[in-house]
Structure 1
Amino acid sequence: MARRFNRKKKENKCRLRSLNKSALKQRKQRGVVANAKKFVLNLSIYTLSNNEYLLLGKGLKYIPTPSNVNVQRQILKDFDEFSRKLRCKYMFENKDKPVIHPFRTNTGFKPGPTCNALENYIHKTKLELSSIPLKERQENLSISERNALASLKNNPDIVIKKADKSNTVVVMDKCKYIKEGLRQLQSKHYIEVERPNLMNIQNVIQEKLTEMHSNGYLDKETFRFLNDSKNIPRCGQLYLLPKIHKIKGTVLNALNDGLCSLKDLPPGRPIISQCATPTYKIGAYCDHFLLPIVKKQLTYIKDTTDFIVKLESLRPPPEVLFVTYDITSMYTNMEFDELITAVKEAYQNADKPVADIPYPKVSDFVFLIKTILENNYFEFNGKYYKQTIGCAMGSTVSPEVSDIRMYQITHMIMNQFEHANKVLFHGRYRDDGFMIFNGTRDEILKFFEIGNSCHRYLKFTYEISGETANFLDTTVYKGRLFQTEGKLDIKSYIKPTNNFQYLQRNSAHCQSVFKGFIKGECIRHLRNTNDKQILEIILDDFRMHLLNRGYSETEINPIITETKLLARSKALEKQRNKRAIPTPLVMVTKYNPCVKGLKRRLLKYWKDLKSDSDCNQIFDSEPMVAYSKHKNIGDLIIRARLQ
């Protein structure tokens, strides 16, 4: 007997199934939005939509899918530049190869046609690239997210910045942001001025550089790099990075849940963008001579690797104390006169080995440093200011100038410290210091008593522990290795402010970026952790955070497995001098996921080129393809200058 069909019952089932799918979709969407909100802190009165949260939650480095209009034209333009490099290499390869100049500028020299083999390769490859196929464009932002991007970009009432010590995206009211900026500008460090005559400053600098060049203290290539006489200088721009780590945890949680609001913004770290200012290039020039001086300081720490290598060579007694300190606002709390005097003394007394460019005279060098410090003009909210105390955070030369003076101060403190012989290790990276002290807590406190009374503005904050200390991105502690071998235990330090906002997997970056990022982080954890059991835990935790950002097990697991098999000593090896590595042939172009088979087409006729005996010797290795990025979300919605 045939089963009777109940149409009404069937329709109800379909309706329920449709409702269940819709409810499931909405629940999933709410989960995605809730996850995005973990990476965004809204301190403004503006209510962000779900799509705006989804957009900002992707991170400021996320690149929307670029347009595929004129892609082939751009590739051919970039290949023309690559062809110029090939011809230059062919023309100048047999000449003596000078050391790569530190201030080399692109002259734009275009050689004429060379040998038949090279010209045939260029011609055939250009034809090959002109017909390169394009894949169908797959948008990685929805229409609503594109609209959210336009909405945030054109909203005049809010300011969006990255947080000071995390990747959290912070949305602020423009009026409150300006209020916080003006509050800082009312301090003793700044004065308001009339619009500065930047051309006059630039002319003074160019006159001094011309004089140095004519006297033989500035070579032709460096003079060409520093010569800005044809460019119109710009004023610096002040912007603030909100220090949301200063907000109490309970208040921060309430802000994330929308249960409260802040009357005033947390303090911001003042950064002065120096791009295209009159002193920008001479700052890079002076930094070239100051960096070797800083590297020879007894307390100098280059980076985490340098710190670990120095620390693991020690075998301190069991009762030692770990001491970390921070110098409050080191950059902006030193006066011009003391900085100039410190730099002059250090430069005069420094060993000056034979260099690839001439050393400037002491008087000329001091003149340039003084010019940089005393002409730090910047704009904020349509008004002009000048910094009167300290180095500008954002200037190329500021770290080295501050380091030199700070080394003098810590050296003076150590000379006055009666228990200096009990300091087994003392290292400093910028404004952060680390000491291993073989004495009592009361004894080491005298070091900071001297430090906090020896300078008008500088103050030391510190932490003292007999068991563990956090420095840079490591935690130093007395663990299993210390008990068995007397060697200090070290592991990667994860800051409480870290929200693990790694680059989302569907960003329009080339595939090597994602692989390189995963491998780089794994090697960093391997280098920073000398206990294999703890390394396993850290890498497993890293894997989970990657999965939350859209990465797959198939691309994560092989890299993590390879890292575990790698010898840690190899990760701690010093990197080779980049200037000693031969410059490879590189075709640079913008990455576009629509382009298919670029490298393969670039190499299609390379064997024909190598069949020529001369070219075979000159072009000994295959060319590489390097990608420059398109604008990311941060580039599109963040500006140093207030609109």
Structure 2
Amino acid sequence: MARSFNKLGKIRKAKQRAGNHSSHKKRKQQAKMKNASVHVKNLSFRSLKDAEILALSKGLNFIPNPTNKNVKALLQNDFKEFSRKLRCKYHFCRNNDLPLHPFYENTGYTPEKTCQTLETYIDKTQIELSSIELYRGANNISTQERKALHDLKNDQSIVIKKADKSNTVVIMDKKEYIKEGIRQLNTHHYESVEKPNIAEINSIIQERVRAMKEKGSLDKQTFHYLTNVNETVLRPGRLYLLPKVHKLNTNQNNAESKMPPGRPIVSQIGTATEKIGHYIDHFLVPIVRNQDTYIKDTTDFINKIESLKLPSSCLLISYDITSMYTNMTFPELIDAVKRALEDTRAHIHKMIKIPIPDPTDLLFLLKCLLENNVFEFNGHYYRQIIGAAMGAVPSPEICDIRMHEITKQILCLYEHKQNILFHGRFRDDGFIIFNGNRNEAERFFTIANSIHNLLKFTYEISESSMVFLDTEIYKGNRFENSGILDIKTYIKPTNTFQYLHRSSAHNKAVFTGFIKGECIRHARNTSDKDVLRKQLLEFNFQLTKRGYSKHEIKPIIEETLSLDRQNLLQSNRNKSNTKTIPNVLVTKYDPRIKGLKNRIMKHWKSLQNDDYCKMVFKSDPIIGFSKHKNIGDMITNSTLT
């Protein structure tokens, strides 16, 4: 009986342990799913499986480990291209230290073989690469998750996009997505058109480009860039929407449409106007940078704000210009650019290193760009008839130039402009420091909202704190002591912290660089050390949730806390615009390949034995890793299929 009793007791305990283990495993899975769900916004009527949520929660920039078997062959092809570049550099070394032309394109020219020293390096390194070992590592995505991605890609009833102003992955019903697109296309900003004659549009542009070359307005490199167009592959633009999930009604009934408003982006890649867009933008950027309200980026904004000693009663004001890009007419945009070119021509001459075209030619190309913004959506063609398309390269500069004129008009009519202590604008967002009362400040926006038929200003006024760009400006301890506003990094309440997942098939340097970059951003944006410590502590916590090790985070955070903030604020100003051609081997990163750098460098020093090679190849080669397809490449598309 004793033995029987003991045996039964052991069985009961084993079952209890198994039950506890099962409960623990279940709780762990539930917690995992809860954390994953934060990064995925399902607005469709499709019920997502656990594997689909887990796969999407990794983020659209997550790269699954590559599975292709011809890794060595691909690496040899990449080294072949690297060898071609080395030979070109050998033959054309006299131009080695010159800055790159702004419209430089790889010609693919293959020169004759060079000296024995360089050819020996190339041959020996090819042998080294042919014997490189491939390591078999753990897969970073499960079989179920790979299948889930395949199922999501092939589901024709849904559309998957990145959320506007965040990295959240959004799943929408295709019908609702199309309905939102048509709602926007039925406004006065667009018109429906027949299938466009892309060849005719390209012919008009090319004819003008050739005329500019004959006048001497284009150098050889720029002319080649603008005319190197394969007409057979040109296509209309493609409209896609980025869902503004931050504007969703959280109380919306599931039975109703849950599609939020979308930000319309017209992709210009592969269009007849893509290259002239880059060309136009090159001449407009110096004009915008010369504006008195111009803000380059957050660092520039902080430097300007921290140079001011302000009265304690000043008001902090931020404003937003609603739909700035799509609410300006073509004639007013073209006329604004024309006036800006006339006013700043001397300034442009100092900034631009290539021939400056006649303003009539530049304005002709600008007119072509605006009036031929034809795109496809859901199998139909449309043309934008008001505004500059978000997605076209020069659109921000074109609208900035007109917006600067409008703000000057507002100030001419504004009775209290002497009370404006600071006024800066970054695209459609503005920031004002005002030394007066609220009624006087609001008068500025009363004028602003009456000066243009389509543009409307929304604004906030505060006596203590205000958010602008990715910073929060407030009156803290420093302001009380010295009259200089305090600043800290602003974290949006809707931020889901969907950082690049640590298990993604990226080079280790990418993760280190990301952590360091974010830490430096916090340190640069935050004036109070105690506040900075709290922000970095939170950053550390969020990183660990994305698979990062404390051992790789802690040293970077400690180093960041010891940095001089003033040096960080000045570092961007000291960057040179000169771009020289380094020795770069470009290849796809594959975690199975180990010791690539060592094999590239093994015989590199032998080049120093030749006086000519020693002069040409002064710096060590760099490995530039391109990426394999990420989840976004796999499951998202700018067209509806």
Aligned to 1:359: 356
Does 2:335 align with 1:338? no
Q: 1:522 aligns with which of 501, 519, 535?
A: 519
More deviation, 91-100/191-200: 91-100
Corresponding residue pairs, total = 635
Deviation at 1:5, TM superposition (A): 8.6
One-letter amino acid of the counterpart of residue 342, structure 2: Q
Judge conservation of contact 1:159–1:174 (CA < 8 Å) in 2. yes
2:385 paired with 1:391: no
SS in 1 for 2:24: helix
The DSSP-based 3-state class of the residue aligned with 2:231 is coil
Segments of 5+ residues of structure 2 without an aligned counterpart are none
Question: In angstroms, what is the RMSD of aligned CA positions?
Answer: 1.6
Change (3 A) 1:531 1:78: same
In the alignment, the residues of structure 1 paired with residue 502 and residue 515 of structure 2 have an alpha-carbon distance, to the nearest angstrom, of 11
* Counterparts of 2:173 and 2:4, CA distance in 1: 66
Could you say which residue in structure 1 is the equivalent of 2:260? 266
* Corresponding residue number in structure 2 for 1:199: 199
Aligned AA (1:106): N
Out of 629, 636, 641, which is 2:639 matched to? 641
Q: Which residue of 1 aligns with 2:243?
A: 242
Question: Which residue in the other structure is 2:48 paired with?
Answer: 48
Quick one: which of 449, 464, 468 aligns to 1:467?
464
Q: In the alignment, which residue of structure 2 is the partner of 1:623?
A: 621
Identify the residue that residue 493 of structure 1 maps to in structure 2: 490
Structure 1 residue 411, shift from structure 2 partner: 0.6
In the TM superposition, what is the alpha-carbon distance from 1:84 to its structure 2 partner? 1.2
Residue 356 (structure 1) shift: 2.1
CA distance in 1, matches of 2:123, 2:404: 58
Q: How does 1:540-555 map onto structure 2 within 5 Å? A: 540-555=537-552
1:150–1:115 CA distance, 2 compared to 1 (3 A): same
Name the aligned partner's letter for residue 238 of structure 2: Q
Q: Which residue of 2 aligns with 1:480?
A: 477
Could you tell which deviates more after superposition, 97-106 or 287-296? 97-106
Shift in Å at residue 613 of structure 1? 2.7
Partner of 1:318: 312
How far the C-alpha of 1:495 sits from its partner, in A, is: 1.1
Alignment of 1:15-26 (within 5 A): 15-26=15-26
Cα-to-partner distance string for 1:63-120 (whole Å, 9 max, x where unaligned): 1111141111111111111111211222222458543200001111111121111111
Contact 1:591–1:630, Cα closer than 8 Å, also in 2: yes
CA distance in 1 between partners of 2:196 and 2:583 (Å): 44
| Alpha-carbon separation, structure 2, partners of 1:234 and 1:139 | 39
- Per the alignment, in what secondary structure is the counterpart of residue 357 of structure 1? coil
| 2:10 aligned with 1:38 | no
Quote the Cα distance in structure 1 between the aligned partners of 2:72 and 2:610. Answer: 29
Matches within 5 A, 1:164-203: 164-203=164-203
When structure 1 is superposed on structure 2, of 162-171 and 461-470 the one drifting more is: 162-171
Which 10-residue stretch deviates more, 553-562 or 27-36? 27-36
Q: Which of residues 431, 439, 442 in structure 1 aligns to 2:439?
A: 442
Q: State the 1:607 CA deviation.
A: 2.0
Is the counterpart of residue 231 in structure 1 residue 231 in structure 2? Answer: yes
Aligned twin of 1:121: 121
Deviations 1:31-70, CA, capped at 9 Å, x for gaps = 1111100111111110000111101111111111111411
Deviation of 1:287 (Å)? 0.1
| Partners of 1:223 and 1:593 in 2: CA distance | 41
The correspondence of residues 551-562 of structure 1 with structure 2, limited to 5 A, is 551-562=548-559
Cα distance in structure 1, aligned partners of 2:602 and 2:11? 61
Deviating more after overlay: 573-582 vs 462-471: 573-582
Aligned partners of 2:101, 2:575: CA distance in 1, in Å?
14
In structure 1, which of residues 412, 415, 428 is the aligned counterpart of residue 412 of structure 2? 415
Describe the SS at the equivalent of 1:353. Answer: helix
Partner of 2:560: 563
Gap runs ≥5 in structure 1? none
Q: Is the 8 A contact 2:96 2:581 kept in 1?
A: no
CA shift, 1:349, in A, is 1.8
> Percent identity over the alignment?
54
Match of 2:598 in 1: 600
Residue number in structure 1 paired with 2:215:
215
Aligned equivalent of 2:282? 288
Letter in 1 for 2:245: I
Residue 100 of structure 2 contacts residue 580 of structure 2 at CA under 8 Å; is this kept in 1?
no
Task: String of CA shifts for 1:381-407, please: whole Å, max 9, x gaps.
Answer: 111101010000100010000000000
> TM-score, normalized by length of structure 1?
0.96
What amino acid sits opposite 1:318 in the alignment?
A: S
| Deviation sequence 1:512-553 (CA, Å, 0-9, x none) | 010000000000000000111111111111111111111111
Are residues 384 and 95 of structure 1, via their aligned partners in 2, closer, same or farther at CA, if it must alter by over 3 Å? closer
Q: For the structure 1 residues 401 and 94, does the alpha-carbon distance in structure 2 shift closer, same or farther, using more than 3 Å as the test?
A: closer
Question: Partner of 1:520: helix, strand, or coil?
Answer: helix
* Cα shift at 1:12: 3.7
Distance 1:457 1:178, change over 3 A: same
Tell me the amino acid that sits aligned with residue 419 of structure 1: H
SS in 1 for 2:441: helix
The residue aligned with 2:377 is 380
* 8 Å CA contact 1:68, 1:594 repeated in 2: no
Determine if contact 2:43/2:258 at 8 Å carries over to the other structure. no
Q: In terms of mean alpha carbon deviation, does 164-173 or 292-301 score higher?
A: 164-173
Report what 2:424 is aligned to: 427
SS in 2 for 1:239: strand
1:358, distance to aligned residue in structure 2 (A): 0.7
- Taking a change above 3 Å as real, the CA distance of residues 118 and 569 of structure 1, as seen in their structure-2 partners, is same
Deviation of residue 608 (structure 1)? Answer: 1.9
Deviations 1:150-187 (A, max 9, x none): 00000000011111122111111101111111111110
**Retained in 1: the 8 A contact 2:236–2:271?**
yes
Name the SS of the counterpart of 1:580 in structure 2. Answer: coil
User: How far apart in 2 are the matches of 1:376 and 1:364?
Assistant: 19
- Residue 457 of structure 1 aligns with an amino acid whose one-letter code is L
The one of 565, 569, 573 equivalent to 1:572 is: 569
- Give the superposition deviation at 1:499: 0.9
Please tell me the residue identity of whatever aligns with 2:326. T
CA contact (8 A) 2:44 2:258 kept: no
Amino acid at match of 1:591: Y
Matched, 1:349 2:325: no
Describe the SS at the equivalent of 1:587.
strand
Partner SS, residue 349 of structure 2: coil
Flag the 1:577–1:216 CA change in 2: closer, same or farther, 3 A: farther
Return 506-515 or 164-173, whichever deviates more: 164-173
Q: What's the secondary structure of 2:240's corresponding residue?
A: strand
Distance 2:576 2:627 in 1: 23
Q: Deviations over 1:227-252 (max 9, x none)?
A: 1443331111111111111124x43x
The answer (yes or no) to whether the contact 2:338–2:363 under 8 Å persists in 1 is yes
Deviation above 6 Å: which 4+ runs of structure 1? 2-5
What is the identity, as a one-letter code, of the residue corresponding to 1:197? Answer: N
> 1:165, 1:497 within 8 Å by CA — same for their partners in 2?
no
| Distance of 1:5 and 1:211 partners within structure 2 | 102
Secondary structure in 2 matching 1:265: coil
Letter aligned with residue 320 of structure 1: C
Asked if the contact 1:43/1:261 (under 8 Å) is kept, the reply is no
1:81 corresponding residue in structure 2: 81
AA aligned to 1:119 is: E
Q: CA deviation at 1:486?
A: 1.5
615-624 or 596-605, which deviates more: 615-624
Seen in structure 2, the aligned counterparts of structure 1 residues 96 and 69 have a Cα distance that, compared at 3 Å, is: closer
For the 8 Å contact 1:68–1:137, the answer to whether it is kept is: no
